[in-house]
Amino acid sequence: MTVILRTIAEVRAWRRALPAGQTLGFVPTMGALHAGHISLMELAKRRASVTIASIFVNPLQFGPNEDLAKYPRPIEKDLALLEAAGIDAVFLPGVANLYPDGASTFVVEESVSAPMCGAVRPGHFRGVTTVVLKLFNIVQPDLAVFGQKDAQQCAVIERMVRDLAVPVEIVRGAIVREPDGLALSSRNVYLSPEDRAAAPLIHASLQAAKAAFEAGQRDASALAAIGRKVLGQDPRFTLQYWDVRDPQTLTSIDTVPTGGALLAVAAYLGSTRLIDNIVLAPF
Ligand code: AMP
């Protein structure tokens, strides 16, 4: 049975009652769970003896014109999926529970969070780091699993944990995709049939650049040009960025170094914002 915990006090009591020597693995989510989330749950189960997930649509990480109100919240289905995955507990806090009236303390990472999604979603990563550190303080996990799908989120959290000496190991889980290459996302349900049919072009653009890299191309702007050209084949896309960056610091690079690189893209398809990325392996 997945134990449902609704308040900070309930999580603390549950945590305290765990037998000594058990390791706790944590998977924070915003719900509307899909196979990508479940793969993170399975990874947490392999890496820790006890597992807890959270479902919280965090208002602090949504901009004023973003999809907070319409974000899908199929809570009964989510609970059934967590139960089936064998997760031991789930934390379902309310907004008032996590953000007391007049809350005025925030966590701000100032470098890794600046480019890419940080540049086009002001305040987004401030919302992410604040809620993740708060959830870590409540849950006190030994390790926490995040998806490579949100590569910048992973890098920002890894930097926060390093800089603030947070005693939580960050584990990255691989991107789970549809058979046609589209990365699973809770936001894919917003796509019209026509946009859904076009959506795999995002992954195709990453694959095209990766193929050029594997054929020997090391010039970052040449790789980005290949990717942008593929995405440019369909006028439905409004590109936000198609970047070649250092996978840890997310600084932009001119030539892919032997340590590899991150290819990352964000684009609107209709009113739906999609992101995806691929890692160029060290060589
Ligand atoms: P979200 O509910 O969108 O905040 O995502 C919760 C966690 O699931 C984050 O760590 C995401 O990176 C991860 N995630 C989302 N989509 C995928 C996917 N397609 N494959 C693997 N992990 C994912």
Pairing mode, strands 261-269 and 237-245: antiparallel
Q: What distance in angstroms lies between residue 20's CA and the mean position of ligand 1's atoms?
A: 30
The pLDDT tens digits of the residues spanning 140-170 come to 999 999 999 999 999 999 999 999 999 999 9
pLDDT reported for residue 31: 98
Q: Is residue 127 part of a domain?
A: yes
Ligand 1 atom nearest to 39, measured from its CA: 21
Q: Which of 27, 33, 38, 40 to mutate to test the pocket of ligand 1 (most atoms within 8 A of CB)?
A: 40
| CA-closest residue to ligand 1 atom 22 | 147
Q: Which domain holds residue 13?
A: 3-173
| 3 state SS of 123 | coil
Q: Are residues 131 and 8 in the same domain?
A: yes
Confidence category of residue 273, pLDDT binned at 50, 70, 90: very high
Q: Which element (helix H / strand E) includes 263? A: strand 261-269
Name the token pair of 159: 């930097």
* H-type alpha helices, the chain: 8-16, 35-47, 75-85, 95-98, 117-120, 124-139, 151-163, 193-198, 201-214, 220-232
Confidence category of residue 27, pLDDT binned at 50, 70, 90: very high
- Alpha-carbon distance values, 201 to 34, 74, 226, 267 (Å): 21, 28, 13, 11
**Summary mean pLDDT of the chain:** 98
Confidence category of residue 250, pLDDT binned at 50, 70, 90: very high
Q: Are residues 101 and 236 in the same domain?
A: no
Q: Are residues 112 and 209 in the same domain?
A: no
Give burial (CB, 10 Å; 0-12/13-18/19+) of 76: exposed
Q: Are residues 166 and 83 in the same domain?
A: yes
36 CB within 6 A, ligand 1? yes
pLDDT reported for residue 220: 98
256 CB within 6 A, ligand 1? no
CATH classification at residue 24: 3.40.50.620
Best CA proximity match to 116, nearest among 280, 276, 255: 276
* Mean pLDDT of the 71-90 span: 98
Q: Is residue 282 part of a domain?
A: no
Q: Is residue 178 part of a domain?
A: no
Question: What dihedral do alpha carbons 137, 36, 112, 131 form, nearest 10°?
Answer: -30
| Domain boundary pick from 140, 173, 206 | 173
pLDDT reported for residue 246: 98
Q: Are residues 14 and 86 in the same domain?
A: yes
* Mean pLDDT of the 79-106 span: 97
The pLDDT tens digits of the residues spanning 180-213 come to 999 999 999 999 999 999 999 999 999 999 999 9
What distance in Å separates the CA atoms of residue 75 and residue 6, rounded to the nearest whole number? 13
The answer to whether 220 and 255 have CB atoms below 8 angstroms apart is yes
149 CB within 6 A, ligand 1? yes
Confidence category of residue 110, pLDDT binned at 50, 70, 90: very high
pLDDT reported for residue 269: 97
Confidence category of residue 5, pLDDT binned at 50, 70, 90: very high
pLDDT reported for residue 235: 96
pLDDT reported for residue 227: 98
Q: Are residues 162 and 204 in the same domain?
A: no
pLDDT reported for residue 56: 98
* Mean pLDDT of the 267-280 span: 97
The percent of residues in the chain predicted with pLDDT above 90, rounded, is 100
30 CB within 6 A, ligand 1? yes
| Residue 34 known to be catalytic | no
What distance in Å separates the CA atoms of residue 138 and residue 11, rounded to the nearest whole number? 7
Q: How many domains does the chain have?
A: 2
The pLDDT tens digits of the residues spanning 252-261 come to 999 999 999 9
* Mean pLDDT of the 46-71 span: 97
DSSP 255: B
pLDDT reported for residue 80: 98
| 3 state SS of 41 | helix
Give burial (CB, 10 Å; 0-12/13-18/19+) of 86: exposed
The secondary structure of 195-252 as a DSSP string is HHHHTTHHHHHHHHHHHHHHTT--BHHHHHHHHHHHHHTSTTEEEEEEEEE-TTT--B
Best CA proximity match to 265, nearest among 163, 165, 178, 182: 182
